[in-house]
Amino acid sequence: GGGGGGGAGPGGGAMGSGGELRHPSVRILSFLAGLPDLGDGALSAARYNDVAADLKSHAHDEASAAADALLLPQTDFYGDAGARAALATIVVDVFSLAGGASYT
């Protein structure tokens, strides 16, 4: 017997050629020329400015504590957005590049 079926047809879709379920996904790339400073995901360089001297410290404990402080989230926006995107099988990459400000 012949039997086709299970294929998604010429337009693709959620079913693979063997009848297995495929999950479509999307990737979003975002390139920013500095910190996001508007809206719900706005971030501030103030935290970096507060610990900049400690980051350059030769004392390991001071530099380590300063680096740890920078890793704490300023807002829940990105964690919440990431969780929602993951549920929808969307990958979001955000690259925030230094703008005109110098952090040296």
d(CA 30, CA 82) in angstroms, rounded, equals: 14
Please give the average per-residue pLDDT across 17-33, as a whole number: 80
Q: Residue 39 has which token pair?
A: 């809206």
pLDDT (tens digit per residue) in 65-79: 888 888 889 899 999
Count of other CB atoms within 10 angstroms of residue 85: 14
Chain centroid, CA 60 distance in Å: 29
- pLDDT band, residue 4 (cuts 50/70/90): very low
Distances (CA, A) of 85 to 5, 7, 9, 70, 82: 32, 27, 27, 24, 5
Q: Which residue type does 58 have? A: H
pLDDT (tens digit per residue) in 33-85: 988 889 999 988 888 888 888 888 888 898 888 888 888 898 999 999 999 99
